[in-house]
Amino acid sequence: MRIRKAKNRMKTIMNRKEEILNDRKRKIAIIDPANEEIISELLKNSYETFFFHDAETFLEQNRIEAFDLLICDIAVLRKEGFRHALRKDMAILALGRNREEEAEALEYGASESLILPLPRREVFERKIDRIIRLEEYGRIIWETEYDPLTGLYNSLYFFRYAEKIDQFYPDSDMDALVFDIDRFHLINERYGRKEGDRILKKIAKDLKIVFDSCGALIGRKESDTFLVYCRHQENYRKILSELNGDLVRDRIKPVLRLGIKRCIGKTETIEDRFDRAIQACDIVKDNYENRIAYYDRRMFRKELFCQRLVIEFEDALANGEFQVFYQPKFDIRGKEPVLASAEALVRWKHHSLGEISPVLFIPLFESNGLIRKLDLYVWRKTAEQIREWQKRYGKLIPISVNVSRIDLYDPCLCEQLQAILKEYDIQAKLLPLEITESVYERDHMTIVERVKELKQIGFPIEMDDFGTGYSTLSLIRRMPVDVLKIDMSFIREAFRENGDTGMIGIVIDIARYLKVPTIAEGVEDQKQYTALKRMGCDIVQGYYFSKPVNADIFGSFIENKKI
């Protein structure tokens, strides 16, 4: 199927190209004063001709104008640097005076060569037409097979040729390698796409050099992901170190990581092998001690488990296996802590596996898009529960819900949330939206604009896990934020033996500067509570007050307003 699609795509491109080319005369540049009159007479009816008396004048014009063919004397090709200064999308016909010059012209990069004197008009025109068309078709094939930025195979043809290697060398011990750049999106954001492209081309060149001796197949999958299919090597750690050693000398200092899938037995498809190499590569993402990982049995078992969760997701959603729990948030600015709000957290009580940790299924559903359905389910359940508590206790209490990156890219997000508000007759201020700081790292402006839309509707915006991302103070000032949530990792680190609460103090100072309250997550004991209160933290949540509880138990918090 994949190969057939590639052939169809190439056929479509060629047909379209043919239509375009047939609608115009080809443009031919000529650098040969001695034969100018003869060539002009032979070509005047079928082509647009442009005559240049020397190579320098032609090169100056060639920088701003594209020609289909260059006809020149072989002496022009002999000029130092001339061939490298030409545009790449042009055929060359060299004119020589004997067989030796005819062969020499091809060595200098001519598409074709002719021995003078020139043939009659019909033969000359056919030869020129053939040269131009072969060059054009070759270019179309190149554009179809190769990544235009790096010159490596694109993923479609990479996988196709990898399959051919397996067919011709079935007994070869091959490995699937995936190289990725840590936080490449930040390079693009900080230095610009032009610099990002330069880094990608540099890595492509380095990969060709390093793997040249193994006869490896090298391709680019997307963005900063590179694929290598090669005979098994014992020194991958050395290879990675060599590649990163070269990159560290660059002023931007990007860092590569590597995932490897041994292809013993070759029982999986090429795509599956590289998918598993990608899984291994993701294991060492942001791991500064180890940047290389092999796909192993443990990952295989996890893959099977994740596959089962994905398959059973729809039924679990329909059967009510996903349950919404609520963790109270207490305002600690007064003499006694007062119930202020809560965070809605989803739990999966699987019919046969028991309770499945959100740490397992949330990232999985974020990676495959199912998180949108799950989040929508949680938002609806939460809004329904807010209305139910209001009917039962006569009190309305805000319950924050989580919004993922994928949700924010959904053009229908605002309409979906507004429809929920209307269905359950609640105000937007009762449904604060928690968005993790890391969401803002990629496509920053797009995300900010979407969040501004939500804020204009009336949804309070809580920045979750603040301090774990890479926001600058100037960036935070431009973000639509109503609350900063201090990540629980800061709390744990600060209150360990010999810990330092300085970072927490900095976050609280930033919140004061922005004139927004702070919420501390993961507060577990009296010592932490007392210290946070003294430092000026506004709201806390954590096991010190309560673990996440079901709707009935949380109802008692609302009723009594006490722990």
Q: How many residues does the chain have?
A: 563
Q: Is 508 helix (H, G, I), strand (E, B) or coil?
A: helix
Q: Find the angle CA(343)-CA(347)-CA(348) to the nearest 5 degrees.
A: 165
- Is there a shared CATH topology between the 2-141 domain and the 153-295 domain? no
Q: Would you give the DSSP letter of residue 544?
A: T
pLDDT tens, the chain, 563 aa long: 444 554 555 555 555 545 444 556 788 999 887 788 888 888 877 888 899 988 999 998 888 888 988 899 888 888 888 888 887 778 899 898 888 888 888 888 888 888 888 888 888 888 888 888 888 887 777 778 888 899 899 998 899 999 998 888 888 889 999 999 988 887 887 788 899 999 999 999 999 999 987 789 999 998 899 999 999 888 899 999 999 988 888 888 899 999 999 887 777 899 999 999 998 998 888 777 788 999 988 888 888 898 899 999 999 999 999 999 999 999 999 888 999 999 999 999 999 999 999 999 998 999 889 999 999 999 999 999 999 999 999 999 999 999 998 999 999 999 999 999 999 999 999 999 999 877 776 667 788 889 999 999 999 999 887 766 555 555 676 778 899 998 888 888 888 877 778 888 888 998 998 899 999 999 999 999 999 999 999 999 999 999 999 999 999 988 876 54
> Where are the domains positioned within the chain?
2-141, 153-295, 312-560
List helix spans (H) across 232-296: 236-247, 270-283
- Kindly report the CATH class assigned to 153-295: alpha beta
What's the CA gap between 121 and 554, in Å, rounded? 92
Report residue 383: phi and psi, to 5°. -60, -40
How far, rounded to the nearest angstrom, does the alpha carbon of residue 121 sit from its chain's CA centroid? 54
How far, rounded to the nearest angstrom, does the alpha carbon of residue 189 sit from its chain's CA centroid? 13
Pick the CATH number of 2-141 from 3.40.190.10, 3.90.25.10, 3.40.50.2300, 3.30.365.10: 3.40.50.2300
Question: Which residues have a Cβ under 8 Å from the Cβ of 85 and sit 6 or more positions away?
Answer: 59, 62
What's the CA gap between 378 and 401, in Å, rounded? 8
What's the CA gap between 543 and 525, in Å, rounded? 8
Residue found by looking up tokens 């949540």 in the block: 541
Pick the CATH number of 312-560 from 1.20.58.390, 3.40.50.620, 3.40.1390.30, 3.20.20.450: 3.20.20.450
Q: Would you give the DSSP letter of residue 352?
A: T
Q: Find the angle CA(265)-CA(268)-CA(272) to the nearest 5 degrees.
A: 135
What's the CA gap between 183 and 248, in Å, rounded? 15
Q: Is 79 helix (H, G, I), strand (E, B) or coil?
A: coil
One-letter amino acid at 514 equals: L
Q: Virtual CA dihedral for 104, 109, 114, 120, nearest 10 degrees?
A: -170
One-letter amino acid at 456 equals: Q
What's the CA gap between 51 and 351, in Å, rounded? 81
